[in-house]
């Protein structure tokens, strides 16, 4: 372990919770050799890597706590999301062959898929995942001669105070991805959301023993609250239909849920993650903050996202000539005017380690798997650097500090297609070293001459900010 990092969005529980359905449903095993343990490591083999490169499927684990520990994780914002039925009630149906294909894509076990297909209450699934994390909260594990634990925290002071003994601690902050967890979006079961039940479930979550820090209001499918952006591609997009509710705005129930989450009378406001919202919903949210919180600056969060390089959704113009054509110009990615909004709000932007989000197809070809290892690592890490650099140039043009919002939001174990060579959280120290090469090269280049004096900082400081410091400062201000 060489450098500490903070990850704003990761899914350590998806695979072990899924595997628990094969033996002890919902049980988080303290034995890290068991597949239903949050500490169970399943590093990618050569064949796993080859399968990922050729099919984009990620069957191995990326963010189990053993791998997080070895990679230097200090704080992780774990995302509780509850698998949506749209992933398991597909165009193939719910038969055994369909389940086997779904398991190949999702990687969490056929029995877990069967359970999600049959269940009629998303909220009970959310509570199960919450309890799964709580079971080993503070449980010590011996790794390579040293003791480790993860600790669920509800306040920044718990991170700042550190462990009382010599145990190495990974601090866990709870977040949610998708408002369906409040038990809505069950049209496939012939159910319409009960507003009173949904709002009661929001209240229960806000009263959990451990504080929920932020949440994304929507995910991949219609949830009767907020419209989602197009998000699926490849084989998954062929199997799953996400058209219903796509590119729409807030519903009446969605506004009620939003107001209840942002209510701060008990000191437990839940901040909103912009990721997966449709463009219309994002614009509605920005206007909502102006109208209903005019005297308050509520920070904007993108927990795991990427830029699309366009000036705004109304002006599809690329002002970054040095990175022209390098980004995915899709609506799930964020526009330059939104980057300015995020910075002005004191917000944060976690950059996603997903090839399908961070680069255009042409740019991906330049960083492909047919290079030697060093060249591959250099070009793959450059995909993330391009994102960091673009944000810096946009903010610099608007007279803002250029390096203050960029942070890590890997989305590891969230069915992503990871950067080749940086397969898991265990490669974070390696990623750190490559990123500094890109920062150094940029500051030596002609294009960096546009930076104002206060934005010309050391390469090592840029990397430190991205790996940890920006997220740490954000947590200190808001958590």
* d(C-alpha 181, C-alpha 108), whole Å: 19
This prediction's pTM = 0.94
Structure confidence by residue, pLDDT tens digits, 354-366: 998 999 998 998 8
pLDDT tier, 133 (very low <50, low <70, confident <90, very high otherwise): very high
Per residue in 148-184, pLDDT (tens digit) is 999 999 999 999 988 677 899 999 999 999 999 999 9
Q: What does pLDDT average to over the chain? A: 92
pLDDT confidence band for 97 (50 / 70 / 90): very low
Within 8 A by CB and 6+ apart from 249, the residues are 226, 227, 278, 280, 281, 284
Q: What is the pLDDT of residue 258?
A: 98
Can you tell me the distance from the alpha carbon of 338 to that of 453, in angstroms, rounded to the nearest whole number?
24
What structural domains does the chain harbor?
A: 5-478 (3.20.20.140)
Average of per-residue pLDDT across 444-463? 95
Average pLDDT over residues 430-435: 97
55-69, 185-199, 362-376, 394-408, range with greatest mean pLDDT: 394-408
Unique residue bearing structure tokens 């990679």: 71
Q: What is the DSSP letter of 7?
A: E
pLDDT for 210-241, tens place per residue?
Answer: 999 999 999 999 999 999 999 987 777 777 88
Q: How far apart are CA 392 and CA 343, in angstroms?
A: 11
Tokens of 441: 């090269």
Q: Which of 429, 399, 390 is nearest to 305 (CA)?
A: 390
196 exposed, middle or buried (CB, 10 Å; 0-12, 13-18, 19+)?
Answer: exposed
**What share of the chain in percent tops pLDDT 90?**
78
Question: pLDDT tens across 26-50, in order?
Answer: 999 999 999 999 999 998 888 888 8
Exposure string for 17-37, b = 16+ CB within 10 A, e = fewer: bbbbbeeeeebbbeebebbbb
């Amino acid at each position: 372990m060489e450098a500490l990092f903070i990850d704003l969005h990761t899914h350590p529980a998806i695979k072990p919770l899924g595997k628990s359905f094969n033996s002890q449903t919902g049980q988080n095993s303290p034995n890290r050799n068991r597949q239903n343990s949050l500490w169970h490591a399943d590093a990618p083999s050569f064949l796993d890597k080859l399968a990922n490169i050729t099919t984009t499927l990620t069957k191995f684990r990326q963010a189990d706590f053993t791998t997080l520990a070895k990679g230097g994780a200090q704080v992780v914002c774990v995302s509780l999301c509850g698998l949506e039925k749209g992933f398991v009630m597909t165009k193939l149906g719910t038969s055994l062959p369909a389940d086997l294909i779904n398991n190949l894509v999702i990687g969490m076990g056929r029995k877990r898929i069967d359970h999600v297909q049959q269940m009629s209450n998303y909220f009970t699934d959310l509570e199960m995942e919450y309890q799964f994390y709580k079971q080993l909260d503070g449980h010590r594990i011996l790794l390579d001669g040293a003791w480790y634990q993860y600790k669920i925290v509800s306040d920044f002071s718990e991170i700042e105070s550190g462990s009382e003994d010599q145990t190495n601690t990974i601090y866990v902050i709870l977040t949610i991805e998708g408002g369906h967890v409040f038990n809505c979006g069950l049209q496939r079961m012939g159910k319409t959301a009960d507003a009173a039940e949904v709002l009661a479930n929001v209240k229960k979550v806000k009263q959990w023993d451990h504080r929920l820090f932020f949440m994304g209001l929507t995910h991949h499918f219609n949830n009767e609250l907020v419209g989602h952006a197009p998000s699926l591609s490849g084989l998954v997009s062929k199997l799953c239909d996400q058209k219903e509710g796509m590119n729409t705005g807030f519903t009446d129930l969605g506004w009620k849920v939003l107001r209840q989450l942002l209510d701060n009378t008990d000191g437990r406001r839940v901040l909103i993650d912009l990721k997966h919202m449709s463009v219309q919903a994002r614009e509605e949210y920005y206007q909502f903050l102006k109208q209903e919180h005019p005297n308050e600056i509520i920070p904007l969060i993108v927990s795991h996202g990427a830029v699309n390089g366009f000036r705004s959704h109304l002006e599809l113009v690329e002002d970054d000539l040095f990175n022209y054509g390098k980004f995915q110009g899709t609506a799930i990615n964020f526009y330059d005017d939104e980057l300015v909004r995020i910075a002005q709000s004191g917000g944060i932007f976690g950059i996603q380690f997903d090839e399908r989000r961070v680069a255009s197809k042409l740019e991906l070809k330049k960083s492909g798997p047919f290079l030697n290892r060093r060249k591959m690592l250099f070009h793959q890490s450059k995909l993330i650097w391009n994102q960091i650099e673009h944000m810096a140039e946009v903010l610099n043009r608007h007279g803002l500090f250029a390096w203050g919002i960029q942070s890590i939001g890997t989305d590891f174990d969230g069915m992503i297609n990871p950067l080749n060579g940086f397969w898991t959280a265990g490669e974070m120290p390696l990623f750190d070293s490559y990123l500094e090469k890109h920062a150094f090269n940029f500051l030596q280049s002609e294009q960096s001459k546009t930076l104002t004096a206060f934005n010309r900082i050391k390469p090592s400081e840029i990397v430190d900010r991205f790996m940890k410091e920006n997220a740490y400062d954000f947590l200190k201000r808001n958590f």
